[in-house]
């Protein structure tokens, strides 16, 4: 029995979308791991050192913040196209994890509360930050 050209094209298209789905799924999981690694490398300090992310780490986060959702959307779209419902559950979990990782491991760190110190300006132009000791009561 010979297959028709339409059946061959359908099978080939289905196979290629499954490959795309698998690559996007693996890529999105790797991107989540890279977001965490970037966060740790930016903020892991020892012995009381002050850690601030450099420009490369900020750029890396921004690139991953664009790529990760795109990979998740491609994986979900491929699963919908192939009508693979159980894979949609997996992609949904990955999507939730990706959003959580992008919010929790943001570089620079997202401040949820206003922790900036209060500034008092003196007549001579010097500034005093609250919370310290010495000349400035609070800075």
pLDDT number for residue 139: 43
Mean pLDDT split into 10-residue runs, the chain, 139 residues: 59 79 95 95 81 88 95 93 87 95 86 55 58 51
Residues 6 or more apart from 77 whose CB is under 8 A from it? none
pLDDT number for residue 138: 46
pLDDT number for residue 94: 95
Kind and range of the H or E run holding 90: helix 85-104
Contact 123, 115 (CB under 8 A): no
Please name which of 110, 111, 108 lies closest in space to residue 57, comparing C-alpha atoms: 108
């Amino acid at each position: 029995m010979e297959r028709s050209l339409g059946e061959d094209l359908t099978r080939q298209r289905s196979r290629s979308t499954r490959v795309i789905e698998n690559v996007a799924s693996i890529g999105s999981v790797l991107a989540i791991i890279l977001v965490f690694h970037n966060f740790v490398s930016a903020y892991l300090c020892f012995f009381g050192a002050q850690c601030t992310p450099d420009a490369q780490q900020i750029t890396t986060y921004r690139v991953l913040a664009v790529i990760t959702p795109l990979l998740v959307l491609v994986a979900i779209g491929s699963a919908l196209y192939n009508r693979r419902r159980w894979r949609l559950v997996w992609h949904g979990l990955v999507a939730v994890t990706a959003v959580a990782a992008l919010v929790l491991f943001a570089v620079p760190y997202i401040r949820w509360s206003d922790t900036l110190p209060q500034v008092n300006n003196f007549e001579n132009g010097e500034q005093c930050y609250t919370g310290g000791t010495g000349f400035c009561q609070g800075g």
